[in-house]
């Protein structure tokens, strides 16, 4: 169950934000509730600790407390790996990228900005949709390395290959290439049937194949990228 949690030390801003969110929920008829609205980060931590939840968090960057927004975000991320964290701030000069990579923050909103309302609306809807879409359709896999969580949409994958270094694999997509620890065998167990192990070091998505070059044992993907198919697995690919 998705919940909204607000942590903002300025009570005026807090009430305003809460009202905004509740309005959005009413208007869009979302299955969502603001469960906690507080100025004290410790309340948030103990709440998340006691209730295993997935939340949409609105956190103020500068809390007048020992725990600032970043530390709070980090702690939340440890407990709620799939939650959506949105930072609120008054600075224009916000180090958003650092937040994004450090705690996988979803977005940030600037409190005094004119489009504050729209941004908050957008964030809520985006988080809500992402959460329910991911939950109901099985079209993405989540790879949990001990400290990294990687989400990949199956439909985006072209092929997966091993790299020159042991235990490192690389996923090729149209607009992305990403690498992580793992091995093809374990990964293939998570994949659907349209993924085919066509080579010792390749798994290919059948849907993305443009043509098969039998002479050179190559598969040409729809974006022109090539991967290899071994003779042994060629037959399985053609059927």
Partner 1 sequence: MTVALFVYLLVSNIIIPALFISILCCLSIYILCGNELNIREMRKYFCLSIIVGSALYTGSYAITLPILSVLTIVWIRNENKQKTIIILIIYSVYFLNAIYIFVYSFCDATISNSSLKYILIEFLIMLIIISVILVFTKKFFKYKLGRDISAAQLRFIMILIIIVPLTICISAISIITFWDIIVNKKIEYVIGNVIPQIIPLTSLIFACVVVYNQDKSSEYRVRLNCEAQEKREIEEYSHVIEDMYAETRRFKHDYMNMLSPLKEYIDNNDMKGLKEFFYNNVIDMDKEIKWSGSNIDKLKHIKFVGLKAILSAKIIKATSMNIDIKVDIIEDIDYVDMKVMDLCRIVGILMDNAIEAAIECEYPKLKVCVVNKNDYVVLVVHNNFFGNKPLIHKIFIEGFSTKGSARGLGLYTVKNIIDTRYDNVFLNTAIEDRMFIQELWVKYEDA
Min. distance of Cβ 9 from partner 1 in angstroms?
Answer: 19
Contact 123, 97 (CB under 8 A): no
Contact 67, 78 (CB under 8 A): no
d(Cα 5, Cα 8) in Å, to the nearest integer? 10
Judging by DSSP bridges, how do beta strands 84-89 and 107-110 pair with one another? Answer: parallel
The helix/strand/coil state of 103 is helix
- Other residues' Cβ atoms within 10 Å of the Cβ of residue 66: 8
Closer residue to partner 1, CB minimum distance, 29 or 147: 147
Min. distance of Cβ 89 from partner 1 in angstroms?
Answer: 13
As a three-state string, the secondary structure of 4-48 is EEEECCCHHHHHHHHHHHHHHHHHHCCCCCEEEEECCHHHHHHHH
Site for partner 1 in 35-94 (CB under 8 A): 70
Min. distance of Cβ 34 from partner 1 in angstroms?
Answer: 28
Closer residue to partner 1, CB minimum distance, 9 or 173: 173
Hey, what are 225's tokens? Answer: 């990228």
One symbol per residue from 193 to 232: x for binding partner 1 (CB under 8 A), - otherwise; what is it? ------------------------------xxx-------
Closer residue to partner 1, CB minimum distance, 29 or 175: 175
Min. distance of Cβ 146 from partner 1 in angstroms?
Answer: 8
Instruction: Decide if residue 148 touches partner 1 (CB under 8 A).
Output: yes
Site for partner 1 in 88-127 (CB under 8 A): 95-102
- Residue 124: is it exposed, middle or buried by C-beta count within 10 angstroms (0-12/13-18/19+)? buried
- Other residues' Cβ atoms within 10 Å of the Cβ of residue 57: 27
Min. distance of Cβ 204 from partner 1 in angstroms?
Answer: 14
Tokens 């194949």 sit on residue: 209
Instruction: Decide if residue 144 touches partner 1 (CB under 8 A).
Output: no
Min. distance of Cβ 225 from partner 1 in angstroms?
Answer: 4
Instruction: Decide if residue 174 touches partner 1 (CB under 8 A).
Output: yes
Min. distance of Cβ 98 from partner 1 in angstroms?
Answer: 4
Judged by CB under 8 A, the residue of 12, 92, 165, 238 near partner 1 is 165
Strand partners, 209: 221
Instruction: Decide if residue 147 touches partner 1 (CB under 8 A).
Output: yes
Contact 190, 201 (CB under 8 A): no
Instruction: Decide if residue 166 touches partner 1 (CB under 8 A).
Output: yes
Interface residue list for partner 1 (CB under 8 A) = 70, 95-102, 147-148, 163-168, 172, 174-180, 223-225
């Amino acid at each position: 169950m998705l919940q909204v949690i607000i942590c903002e030390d300025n009570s005026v801003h807090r009430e305003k934000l809460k009202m905004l969110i509740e309005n959005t929920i009413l208007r869009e008829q979302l299955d969502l509730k603001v469960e906690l609205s507080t100025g004290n980060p410790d309340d948030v931590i103990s709440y998340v600790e006691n209730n295993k939840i997935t939340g949409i968090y609105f956190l103020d960057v500068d809390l007048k407390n020992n725990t600032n927004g970043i530390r709070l975000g980090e702690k939340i991320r440890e407990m709620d790996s799939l939650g959506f964290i949105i930072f609120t701030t008054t600075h224009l000069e916000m180090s958003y990228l650092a937040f994004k990579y450090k705690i996988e923050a979803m977005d940030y909103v600037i409190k005094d900005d004119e489009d504050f309302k729209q941004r908050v609306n957008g964030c809520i809807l985006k988080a809500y949709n992402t959460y329910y879409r991911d939950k109901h359709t099985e079209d993405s896999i989540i790879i949990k390395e001990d400290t990294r969580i990687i989400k990949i949409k199956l439909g985006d994958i072209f092929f997966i290959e091993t790299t020159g270094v042991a235990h490192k694999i690389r996923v090729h997509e149209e607009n992305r290439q990403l690498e992580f620890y793992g091995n093809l065998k374990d990964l293939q167990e998570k994949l659907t049937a349209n993924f085919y192990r066509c080579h010792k070091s390749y798994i290919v998505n059948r849907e993305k194949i443009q043509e098969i070059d039998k002479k050179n044992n190559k598969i040409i993907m729809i974006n022109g990228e090539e991967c290899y198919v071994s003779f042994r697995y060629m037959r399985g690919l053609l059927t």
